[in-house]
Structure 1
């Protein structure tokens, strides 16, 4: 445990020494704001008589039914909580089974409470708001002692037209929270919420960007070069095969609905510095292909509805539709790309689907995975398949033979 949770906040700097850098920095900010280790509850900043009207008028009210459908039941089934906050850290919705909701009342993780780190100490919703990216805060990484039996992951949700931060989506659970799976689900659900906001008419604050009537269909799974189809005004372009570099740029922008600055895009695209002038030229060529209204700038982003095969697989896996996700998975995303950002996306999608298959308990799904080029040497999957099959299954000799082969090859 990092430090004595009973210490006064003035001594938080010493207690934060063994934490991850981003968490330690949050501890310092929490202490500087006057939060105490022994503070039991987060403050209530939206009392019940104000909460209902406030959240009904909030932009995220439009996508809450979608989020509740995707994550709410999963949270109940796993004894976790799903929460949605506004940009100030105020929890607008908290969903879970009755026993978990009662447990969370002890730390005031309830609708109307405020989990900004300056008020509630280090926690995932507050840190996601501060850093404006998905984060996890596990057990003893929480600043306050009362919260250290919980773990949480959170991802920001942005207005797709103004790129402003609307709030965060959070999953919170006990020590048994499956953090990688929860993080994948939260990230995918936040993206789906942003896509839903971009599609719908939510009033003057969500006036569509030029090009929002355009739809891009991008296919990058199992392909070295992405395929692109553009639909606009009822017309559909012929399917285009993009160059490797344009494929990478489109994949990175499709995975970042709020956009990327030139520097951010360059970092995710090039393993080494020095590609800024080349990147500008590539972006100009891509803009001529997509249209100036579709490839917007400052920051660079796709001002269109984007449908992508890897995003669909990630969302299906996160939403428990493992069979459909596996059927749609044609292989790793742009497998030959060495762009750091593409590698990260590729690993995230592949890992999310693999975990879903591994924990499915479905022998046919595990068998399908091991018959693929990317799963043939997956030792853990072969082991899981062996334990799932009955002792008399005719597949047992095959599985045992593959495990023996891998034991021999891997030493």
Structure 2
């Protein structure tokens, strides 16, 4: 790109052709064409008829900003970009990893123009909500971008040019947010793009300097109180965080379990495989994650990669820890049932079977009559031939209980042709489909 880009007329013509026919975009950069296609798939309006939403009240935004990691480098952004933006008739903005604008500052007249298109603090300028734009597209691609006039997907933004760069968490590389310059023609130049890149790098260096722990390791800036995830014996998980209880939908429950199992985060293509044996379109997954983020809030659910941003204590994780420690009685006492029993998500099915096999093996191997009784008395152990047989062997000879347990074992041995847990799950899933 040299000088003030010679793209406005060509980009607007290409935009008109694309939005009227949704064909292959011609006459624009590949970066822009790909972004237009994502914008169209997400349902962002091209005609400016719907402006980006504001998701937080002023009080909520103020509290969120105070706790956000980028608050510590806001003075640096003001020093590097703020004064120049005000002098040159521009605005600079700082957004979080979901595209929510946290701070918007600069020239007062330009700020007034920005307000008319909802480029304001608290508004969501992700690609999915606002279409192609520098902060949203920089977050989508995880690198600095420059978007000029008609390259914006929404016609409401065609009078603007912008340059933005993502800011990453030191040590992990996780996206923390984005820094943006928006305004007139001088933003459509290489120096503007270089300026936001330099500001992002300076912020990352400052964060690394201030977030070193006593051992020299970079601290996790998003650490906080643990969340509690309960998913055993229930079709819909419950997530507790900061005094709030979120009862998740079945699909959101599968996502939360997958993210808890993945730990540090997972990219969209891997998460899609975790959730279904059938292909999940990227746009469908993004929309689902947007809905889940609206439930949990961006301070808890991160993106690129997708991750739960607080330490997670789960009932299924605690069960695995008890089994690993050989505390079989405690593990069985804290097992209300299989992990999301109706779920067919591959990651859930695999973990569910693993936990059942480990628990069952521990109960059968411990030789404790009380635990065996509790196992066969539960719905998931009622058809377990081996458990009934083990119980019969441990009951007093000649007792009616021993005879009953042995008879139950013989009956099951003649009728079962598949492992008992798999048969139980098959019956549950079949009922859920009917």
Select the structure of larger CA radius of gyration: 2
Give TM-score scaled by structure 1 length.
Answer: 0.48
